[in-house]
Amino acid sequence: MKTTSTLMLALVVLAGCASPLENARETGAEHTCTWYSSCKNVGSGKTYATINDCLTQQRADWLDKLPTADCDGKINVSNLNVCLSAIDGTSCTSVFDQIATAGKCDKSKVCSP
C-alpha cells in the first residue's frame, strides 16, 4: 500500500502543472484506481494486474468521460469533488451504489460552468 500512496503523491505533484481539465481527469483516474485497489481488484488475476495498468486504462476512460470539446474551461470543481467523494465511498459489492457514483461523475455534472 505504501507504493500506491507514493505513486499517488507523485502524480498529484506532477498534476500541478496541468490544466483544470487534465487535473480532473488525472484525479478521477487516481481515485478510481485507489477504489479498485481497496476493493482488492488490483493484482495478479484481478481486474488490473498492477496499479500502473489501472492508471493507464482509467486515464483513457476519464479522457472519454471528460472530452476536451465538452469540458475545456468548464470543470465545476464542486461537482468534481462530489464525484471524487462518491468514488471514495462507493461500495465494492453494490452495483446500485456503483451506478449512483457513475451518475455523480457524469460529464453533464462535472463539465458544467
| 78 burial level (CB within 10 Å; 0-12, 13-18, 19+) | exposed
Q: Residue 43, SS3?
A: coil
**CB atoms inside a 10 Å sphere around CB 24:** 25
69 vs 106: CA distance, rounded Å:
15
Res. 39: pLDDT tops 70 = yes
- Note the pTM of the prediction, 2 decimals: 0.83
Residue 113 banded pLDDT, cuts 50, 70, 90: confident
Q: Comparing 71 with 11, which gets the higher pLDDT?
A: 71
Res. 104: pLDDT tops 70 = yes
Within a 13 Å sphere around the CA of 66, how many CA atoms are in the beta-carbon half?
29
Q: Give just the sign of the alpha carbon dihedral 62, 58, 31, 105.
A: positive
24 vs 20: CA distance, rounded Å:
6
Q: What are the phi and psi torsion angles at 74 (to 5°)? A: -125, 15
